[in-house]
Amino acid sequence: MIAASDIAARLGLRAIPMRREWRGDCPSCGYASGLVVGEKEGRAVWWCASCQDREGITAAVRHALGRGGIPPQRVDRPMGPAPSTARKSAFARALWDEALPLPGTIAARYLAVRGLPGIESAALRYLPATPHPAGGKRLPAMLAAIRDTRTGELRAVHRTFLRPDGTGKAAVEPAKASLGPVAGCAVMLDPPRDGAPLVIGEGIESALSAAAMIGGAAWSAVSAGNLAVLPLPPLPACPVVVIAADPDAPGQRAAHAAAHRWRAEGRAVRIATPDSPDTDFNDLLRARLEARETRHG
């Protein structure tokens, strides 16, 4: 019997004091602290308080356990009908097909403001009127294709809702959201390159920034929960990996869980982490660019 604590450790979740319960980012929808792993009558159970995507979360648990099947003690928390994963994927594909190439758009300006000018990734697009998950609003957004890392199939999209002038995120909650199953998928911002590491971070901006500083191809796992269980293409692809880890506790747990799995596969893996607990790689990149501008007047 596999204990809930073992599943939580593989997923990089944090323990909730005084309760037999662990929480972290949902590997399916990316919702912060949405994923819960607990125990019911001595059996491990798991659910997301946000997306209720049983299929996606179960796939993440399967990856974490390294099993082709689900352990027999697994049960789902009673809840209403889960939204159709296939329906969400179809909607995500429809939004992606409607979106525009990134260059010259408000989304490109948003990245430039973040210290990332000239990005031409085929994994990023712009959609002027994107439905917000809270309903009733359509906002400009940067769309990112979330694809199965083994097949390349588009399974979901990530939406970063933007101000009309592209100078930052829109003043809405949430300002970022995924649509469709994320588990086992990533935003493959760059194709892997021979002789260069694959740089994997949680967020899109953080992954792009880390790759710009380290040198390599950038992938975003979207969330800490998904990073912990993300499968990579079989070797010899991606033999060298740098994990651009967030410095918070969930980010560190996820990074070490991923590093353990990938090293066991025979890959060379390094974890890079910003020194400050309140800093990510985009903060570091922008600080470096500002210092360079100051030196050169």
Mean pLDDT of the chain: 87
Query: Which of these, 255, 254, 223, lies nearest to 12 by C-alpha position?
Result: 254
75-76 and 43-48 as β-strands: parallel, antiparallel, unpaired? parallel
pLDDT at 58: 78
Going by pLDDT thresholds of 50, 70 and 90, the confidence category of residue 59 is confident
Rounded CA-CA distance 26/29 in Å is 6
240-244 and 198-201 as β-strands: parallel, antiparallel, unpaired? parallel
Query: Is CATH 3.30.530 correct for 189-297?
Result: no
Tell me how long the chain is.
297
Residue 283: phi and psi, rounded to 5, are -60, -45
Where in the chain are the domains? Answer: 4-76, 84-186, 189-297
CB-based contact 145:152 (threshold 8 Å): no
pLDDT single digits (tens) 143-155:
999 999 999 999 9
Locate all alpha helices (DSSP H) within the chain, ordered by sequence. 4-11, 54-65, 85-98, 106-113, 204-214, 224-229, 249-264, 281-295
- In eight-state DSSP terms, residue 180 is S
Tokens read off for 178:
């995924």
Rounded CA-CA distance 94/36 in Å is 30
Query: Which of these, 143, 155, 138, 147, lies nearest to 102 by C-alpha position?
Result: 143
Rounded CA-CA distance 269/163 in Å is 37
Tokens read off for 19:
């309760």
CB-based contact 232:238 (threshold 8 Å): yes
Rounded CA-CA distance 273/286 in Å is 16
> Which pTM was predicted?
0.77
Rounded CA-CA distance 29/289 in Å is 33
pLDDT single digits (tens) 194-249:
889 999 999 999 999 999 999 999 999 999 989 999 999 999 999 999 999 999 98
pLDDT at 75: 39
Reduced to 3 states, what is the DSSP secondary structure of residue 76? strand
* Radius of gyration of the CA atoms of the chain, in A: 19
pLDDT at 169: 97
Is it the case that residue 78 has pLDDT exceeding 60? no
Rounded CA-CA distance 240/32 in Å is 29
Q: How far is CA 173 from the centre of its chain?
A: 18
pLDDT single digits (tens) 79-137:
443 456 788 889 999 999 999 999 999 999 999 999 999 999 999 999 999 999 877 78
C-alpha to C-alpha distances, 201 to 194, 207, 220, nearest whole angstrom: 20, 5, 5
CB-based contact 253:12 (threshold 8 Å): yes
pLDDT at 68: 46
Query: Which of these, 289, 292, 259, lies nearest to 273 by C-alpha position?
Result: 259
